[in-house]
Amino acid sequence: MDERQISEIAKRLRGSRSVLFITGAGISADSGLPTYRGIGGLYEQEETDDGIPIEAALSGAMFQRDPALTWKYIHQIESSCRDAGPNRAHHVIAELEQRFDRVWTLTQNVDGLHHAAGSAQVIDIHGDVHRLLCTHCGHRWRVRSYVGLDIPPACPECASLVRPEVVLFGEMLPLDRARILQEQLMRGFDAVFSIGTTSVFPYIAEPVVDARRRGALTVEINPGTSEVSHLVNHRLRTGAAAAMDAVVRALDRA
């Protein structure tokens, strides 16, 4: 761990009032979740067991054509998340909501671990596998797991087809979350952290680009290289849990 960088980050944070955390699959790696391919990671191979790319299996078009096949892979994603709990990085972010005037977390993950850690200001831009929606009557509910559910499940109100409230490939981002993100970005942030994401989507990279342009603190926590690695003030090439723990301990020493 680069103690000099940690100290500099903590020093800048102490003068900050607002922080944005942008998280990807890498933040959940210390919770035992995979970080490769698919929604929230899962698939290392180019094709699924059904002989099609995972992007096709988990697409909106496939759900319309063959919902059972899409649900098969959604179910695998939920199964991988089922026994996972928040790690130190999730908990630190939740704790920091209480220490700054305004803290938001923009996450691409659908595992729900930020909510489980206690974060309240979360923009889960790709949804959450634990939230279900009836495609006919609009009934919504939340489940702790898919254990006991028929796959695909039927709506308990009208017995129609249900889908998880996640953004499938080829679908638009949810308007309500996109609106909240835009409103918060317009207000600006004193510090922006990019944690465990390759930042390939423009709406994930742009907050870092804008923060750097405005002179805000920018930090990347990622063992690898991303689309924003060359832009940030500080790069911590390590796991999210260790890095966030080091940052908050340095902040406590103030």
- The pairing of strands 234-236 and 217-221 is parallel
Token pair 């006991």 is found at: 148
Distances (CA, A) of 194 to 86, 99, 100, 170, 240: 18, 19, 18, 24, 10
Helix (H) / strand (E) containing 109: none
- Give catalytic residues, as residue numbers: 126
How many CA within 13 A on the CB side of residue 184? 27
How many CA within 13 A on the CB side of residue 68? 2
Closest alpha carbon to 35 in 198, 164, 169: 198
| Residue type at position 252 | D
Q: Counting beta carbons within 10 angstroms of the beta carbon of residue 118, is it exposed (0 to 12), middle (13 to 18) or buried (19 or more)?
A: middle
E strand spans, 158-230: 162-166, 191-195, 217-221
Contact present, 245 and 218 (Cβ < 8 Å): no
